[in-house]
Chain A
Amino acid sequence: MSPFLLEGGSVSQMPVAEGKSVQQTVELLTRKLEMLGAEKQGTFCVDCETYHTAASTLGSQGQAGKLMYVMHNSEYPLSCFALFENGPCLIADTNFDVLMVKLKGFFQSAKASKIETRGTRYQYCDFLVKVGTVTMGPSARGISVEVEYGPCVVASDCWSLLLEFLQNFLGSHTPGAPTVFGNRHDAVYGPADTMVQYMELFNKIRKQQQVPVAGIR
């Protein structure tokens, strides 16, 4: 499994952004996929909620509060992922959500922090492509593109192959290799690696909200 996420965070980065909405860009992408011969295979959804370390547990050691992200992925419907930035990734059963309610004293949910991406799954040969619209609250913020090449378990092995596939429907707007690829050279790719990439993408999109639009790369 070797997914990777396109930085679809900024619509202005997309090739067709001039005067087009997120929705139109998504449609354009999916149309290109269908022309390539990809087949629709249902929908997908990835969501993420942010938790702060509660104020009561901080202070004495002088630590800064860490952020924890609790995520779900429709691809793994029975699992729940809990991640720290640059930290470990915990894969638990879905009733981990209930546990988080009980841990209110230690972790508090950040207000209006829920961010999610929804869209259509496409299958093309052994490739699984998921094009989703990233929404935060009511507004669409960007586009996520996940490409998974099932046969290959070592991400760095098939990066050139993935890149060539991406060029087929993203044109010149292909991204650089995700950081996960470089970190562990021949490690077997797992679901947690996908979730880390989604977390990084979501964080990027959140930050864009605070920066004036003109300032984006």
Chain B
Amino acid sequence: MAEVISVGVNLEAFAQAISAIQALRSSVSRVFDCLKDGMRNKETLEGREKAFIAHFQDNLHSVNRDLNELERLSNLVGKPSENHPLHNSGLLSLDPVQDKTPLYSQLLQAYKWSNKLQYHAGLASGLLNQQSLKRSANQMGVSAKRRPKAQPTTLVLPPQYVDDVISRIDRMFPEMSIHLSRPNGTSAMLLVTLGKVLKVIVVMRSLFIDRTIVKGYNENVYTEDGKLDIWSKSNYQVFQKVTDHATTALLHYQLPQMPDVVVRSFMTWLRSYIKLFQAPCQRCGKFLQDGLPPTWRDFRTLEAFHDTCRQ
């Protein structure tokens, strides 16, 4: 409130400064008037010129004088306070008609609110960064500028390495057969056949799993021209549901530094579907709920649950 008082002290100087401005403005307009009128009403050309120059000079002098006066006064007035948290808008508190225009109190509330918002957003962003859904290592930075231009190293693994990892997983699970193909460049596509239960198409980007589609054992997984059909979904509701869950699993299993562990965990989880039609729900003990068997498999325990029975 100290600023308010100091402003009050200088009110005199304000009044003088305002009249100085008015004087300056009128002297400046006199200069332009003089220029506009030009040389006239004198008999000789010389007389006209002399009179005009003298007149012009007088006018400029008075402008100069007024300007100096204004500068002197402006020093007296002092700068508007800058340490007020709301800067110039803090002056709104001087408004005497609070009841009619409660701008200042509204402004304070808005300011508090936006401060709080910023604080909470900061907290949320910190928490979310810990639980990031982005699956590559280099996207943790807050600012886009700091993100390195180079691709994450996990995306440029040699195809031979990917082949090795996949074939090791293939050997790990006897009831699961994995067929790897690269129809479009270096990205691998896997056709995983799990027992006589289901088939899974897995689209990889290096060792990251980009997309999975689950289909029935007796469903066609190829398009008419003999390529893996990575777009159409299963005709059976149960496999559509399992596809959804598998996509969830892709987001759950992530460890950007060790992509091979991610693929292995995902396949281990997928393998638990070998009992898709044989395992009752661990919560309600039934096989069917709304016509569907327990399609959810817990990420840690691999137990079977109905979609609505899981926590």
Main DSSP-derived SS at the A contact region: mixed
Cα distance, A165 to B292, chains bound together (Å): 10
Could you tell me if B237 and A153 are in contact, using CB atoms closer than 8 angstroms? Answer: no
User: Which parts of B282-296 form the interface with A (CB within 8 Å)?
Assistant: 286-288, 290-293
User: Which parts of A134-154 form the interface with B (CB within 8 Å)?
Assistant: 149-154
**Residues of A within 8 Å of B, CB-based: how many?**
21
B65-103 vs A, Cβ < 8 Å mask (1 yes, 0 no) = 000000000000000000000000000000000000000
Could you tell me if A126 and B236 are in contact, using CB atoms closer than 8 angstroms? Answer: yes
Q: Is A161 in contact with chain B by the CB < 8 A criterion?
A: yes
Could you tell me if B277 and A161 are in contact, using CB atoms closer than 8 angstroms? Answer: yes
Cα distance, A22 to B236, chains bound together (Å): 33
Partner of A157, one of B216, B238, B277, B286: B277
Q: Is B161 in contact with chain A by the CB < 8 A criterion?
A: no
Nearest A residue to B292, CB-CB: A125
Report the minimal beta-carbon distance from B308 to chain A, rounded to whole angstroms: 14
Q: Is B217 in contact with chain A by the CB < 8 A criterion?
A: yes
Q: Is B239 in contact with chain A by the CB < 8 A criterion?
A: yes
Q: Which residues in B have their C-beta under 8 angstroms from that of A127?
A: 291
Nearest A residue to B278, CB-CB: A157
User: Which parts of B260-311 form the interface with A (CB within 8 Å)?
Assistant: 277-278, 280, 286-288, 290-293
Could you tell me if B277 and A152 are in contact, using CB atoms closer than 8 angstroms? Answer: yes
Partner of A153, one of B218, B278, B287: B218
Could you tell me if B291 and A126 are in contact, using CB atoms closer than 8 angstroms? Answer: yes
Q: Which residues in B have their C-beta under 8 angstroms from that of A186?
A: 196
Could you tell me if A151 and B196 are in contact, using CB atoms closer than 8 angstroms? Answer: no
* A157-B197 CB under 8 A given contacts A125-B237, A126-B237, A165-B288: yes
Nearest A residue to B219, CB-CB: A151
Could you tell me if A164 and B278 are in contact, using CB atoms closer than 8 angstroms? Answer: no
From B197, B280, B290, B291, residue with most partner A Cβ within 10 Å: B291
Could you tell me if A125 and B291 are in contact, using CB atoms closer than 8 angstroms? Answer: yes
B205-243 vs A, Cβ < 8 Å mask (1 yes, 0 no) = 000000000001110000000000000000111110000
Q: Is A180 in contact with chain B by the CB < 8 A criterion?
A: no
User: Which parts of A105-129 form the interface with B (CB within 8 Å)?
Assistant: 124-127
Cα distance, A94 to B237, chains bound together (Å): 32
Could you tell me if A153 and B216 are in contact, using CB atoms closer than 8 angstroms? Answer: yes
Report the minimal beta-carbon distance from A181 to chain B, rounded to whole angstroms: 13
B21-34 vs A, Cβ < 8 Å mask (1 yes, 0 no) = 00000000000000
Q: Which residues in B have their C-beta under 8 angstroms from that of A45?
A: none
Report the minimal beta-carbon distance from A38 to chain B, rounded to whole angstroms: 9
User: Which parts of A142-197 form the interface with B (CB within 8 Å)?
Assistant: 149-154, 157-158, 160-161, 164-165, 168, 186, 188
Q: Which residues in A have their C-beta under 8 angstroms from that of B217?
A: 153, 188
Could you tell me if A151 and B236 are in contact, using CB atoms closer than 8 angstroms? Answer: yes
Q: Is A1 in contact with chain B by the CB < 8 A criterion?
A: yes
* A151-B278 CB under 8 A given contacts A125-B237, A126-B236, A161-B293: no
Could you tell me if A161 and B288 are in contact, using CB atoms closer than 8 angstroms? Answer: yes
Could you tell me if A154 and B237 are in contact, using CB atoms closer than 8 angstroms? Answer: no
Q: Which residues in A have their C-beta under 8 angstroms from that of B278?
A: 157-158, 160-161
Cα distance, A29 to B188, chains bound together (Å): 51
Partner of A126, one of B196, B218, B238, B286: B238
Cα distance, A213 to B174, chains bound together (Å): 54
Q: Which residues in B have their C-beta under 8 angstroms from that of A37?
A: 291
Could you tell me if B196 and A154 are in contact, using CB atoms closer than 8 angstroms? Answer: yes
Cα distance, A119 to B280, chains bound together (Å): 32
Cα distance, A27 to B121, chains bound together (Å): 62
User: Which parts of A19-53 form the interface with B (CB within 8 Å)?
Assistant: 37
Q: Which residues in A have their C-beta under 8 angstroms from that of B288?
A: 161, 164-165, 168
Q: Which residues in A have their C-beta under 8 angstroms from that of B218?
A: 1, 153, 188
Cα distance, A44 to B218, chains bound together (Å): 23
Report the minimal beta-carbon distance from A205 to chain B, rounded to whole angstroms: 30
Report the minimal beta-carbon distance from B218 to chain A, rounded to whole angstroms: 5
Partner of A188, one of B196, B277, B290: B196
11 A-B residue pairs with CB within 8 Å:
A37-B291, A126-B292, A150-B235, A151-B277, A152-B277, A153-B216, A154-B196, A157-B197, A160-B278, A161-B287, A164-B287
Listed from nearest, the 7 A-B pairs whose CB atoms lie closest are A125-B291, A158-B277, A161-B287, A151-B236, A164-B287, A152-B277, A157-B277
Additional A-B contact list (12), CB under 8 Å, known A125-B237, A153-B217: A125-B292, A126-B237, A149-B277, A151-B238, A153-B216, A153-B218, A154-B196, A160-B278, A160-B280, A161-B277, A168-B288, A188-B218
